[in-house]
């Protein structure tokens, strides 16, 4: 309840930056973390983790392996994440800085990038900048996973983002709607080959 209360208060303080009135559900977190390899030591970058709805599932999937960087611009959310997830490398920064954050840690690239960012709330230029940093940060076999709210998926900013996603990646898979999320949402899983 503490996390939900914080999320709601941050939404009302800055709705564009927070992007949702409530954190995502555990059921939504499952398809978001599904692309994490079951073996080896994957590098996972989580953009906009908020209060940790996806972080919990990512940590469960990793099971102590790899390196999990959570990039959160909101300092209150970042402090909560740091307390709740001592094994997660929490970076208080913007998503556009992902390549620099990886380099600063001696990591060449991410195997999986999971985004909880409110894409439909961003202007085109911001969408382009963040998506560019994601493409620059993934391995050639990497996977990018993000989501969209069902009710807003047909709004012009959301359609624009989906078009940019399809231009940037060779394959974009649209997941099933998670009705148990508030509001209902679905995941995009994108993979690409460097040109």
As for how many domains the chain has, the answer is 1
Q: Which domain holds residue 120?
A: 2-11+24-191
Interatomic CA distance for residues 69 and 122, integer angstroms: 23
Q: What percent of the chain has pLDDT over 70?
A: 87
Say if 137 falls within a structural domain. Answer: yes
Which pLDDT value is given to residue 148? 94
- For 17, the token pair is 């930056």
Q: Is 19 a domain residue?
A: no
pLDDT attached to residue 21:
47
User: What pLDDT score does 194 carry?
Assistant: 47
Task: Indicate whether 45 belongs to any domain.
Answer: yes
Name 171's bridge partners. 191
CATH code: domain of residue 185: 3.40.50.150
Q: Could you tell me which of 76, 90, 88 has the C-alpha nearest to residue 3?
A: 76
Q: Name residue 173's beta-bridge partners.
A: 189
Rg (Cα) of the chain, in Å, rounded?
15
Establish if 53 belongs to a structural domain: yes
Half-sphere exposure of 118 (CA within 13 A, CB side): 18
Query: Residues of the chain whose pLDDT is less than 70?
Result: 1-23, 193-195
- The pLDDT of residue 177 is 97
pLDDT of residue 24: 75
Position 57 in a domain? yes
pLDDT for the residue 20: 54
What integer pLDDT is reported at residue 18 of this predicted model? 46
| 16 part of a folded domain | no
pTM: 0.89
E strands along 16-107, which residues?
43-47, 67-71, 89-91
* Domain presence at residue 18: no
């Amino acid at each position: 309840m503490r996390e939900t209360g914080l999320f709601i208060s941050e939404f009302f303080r800055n709705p564009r930056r927070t992007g949702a009135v409530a954190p995502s559900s555990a059921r939504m977190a499952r398809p978001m973390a599904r692309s994490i390899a079951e073996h080896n030591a994957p590098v996972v970058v989580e953009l906009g983790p908020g209060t940790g709805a996806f972080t919990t599932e990512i940590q469960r999937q990793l099971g102590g392996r790899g390196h999990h960087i959570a990039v959160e611009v909101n300092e209150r959310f970042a402090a909560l994440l740091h307390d709740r997830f001592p094994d997660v490398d929490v970076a208080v920064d913007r998503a556009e800085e992902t390549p620099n954050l990886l380099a600063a840690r001696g990591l060449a690239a991410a195997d999986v990038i999971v985004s909880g960012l409110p894409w439909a709330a961003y202007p085109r230029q911001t969408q382009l900048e963040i998506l560019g940093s994601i493409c620059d940060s993934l391995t050639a076999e990497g996977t990018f996973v993000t989501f969209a709210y069902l009710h807003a998926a047909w709004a012009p900013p959301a359609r624009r983002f989906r078009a940019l996603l399809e231009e940037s990646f060779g394959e974009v898979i649209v997941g099933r709607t998670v009705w148990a999320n508030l509001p209902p949402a679905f995941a995009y899983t994108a993979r690409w080959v460097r040109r």
